[in-house]
Amino acid sequence: MTFFVEQRTGATIVAVFGEVDLACQALFERLSELTNSPQSGRLIVDLTDCSYIDSSGLSALIKTHKCVPGRLVVVASAREAVNRIFSMCGLDTFLRFVSTAAEALPSAAI
């Protein structure tokens, strides 16, 4: 997995490329720490280019959600198989999903 972090007004965007698995837990924990205050704005995890996610990746997202309550927004993957995992686990109703990073920005109506 590789990732790119971009700061925007009112949001931090983390674009994830490749597989989200156990190796990602430390990244999400660190992001949670860095964006822990409400003044940090939204934390947008862009999974558009995510090719795979396993249970440890799902766990990392849930922990991140708990650390930044109400401020985590997930951009759905372009791969239906990845999105289906969220749906099968019921996380598509637990986490806030949007189609694009632009939709997730604070200025966009969600």
Closest CA to 101 of 36, 57, 43: 43
Band the pLDDT of 49: cuts 50, 70, 90: very high
Question: Does the pLDDT of residue 59 top 50, yes or no?
Answer: yes
User: Domains, the chain, ranges and CATH?
Assistant: 2-104 (3.30.750.24)
Residue ranges of alpha helices (H) inside 1-110 are 25-34, 55-67, 80-89, 91-94, 101-104
- pLDDT > 70? residue 110: no
Say if residues 45 and 72 touch (Cβ distance below 8 Å).
Answer: yes
The residue with greater pLDDT, 90 or 37, is 90
pTM greater than the 0.95 cutoff? no
Q: What is the mean pLDDT of the chain?
A: 86
CA–CA dist 33, 14 (Å, integer): 14
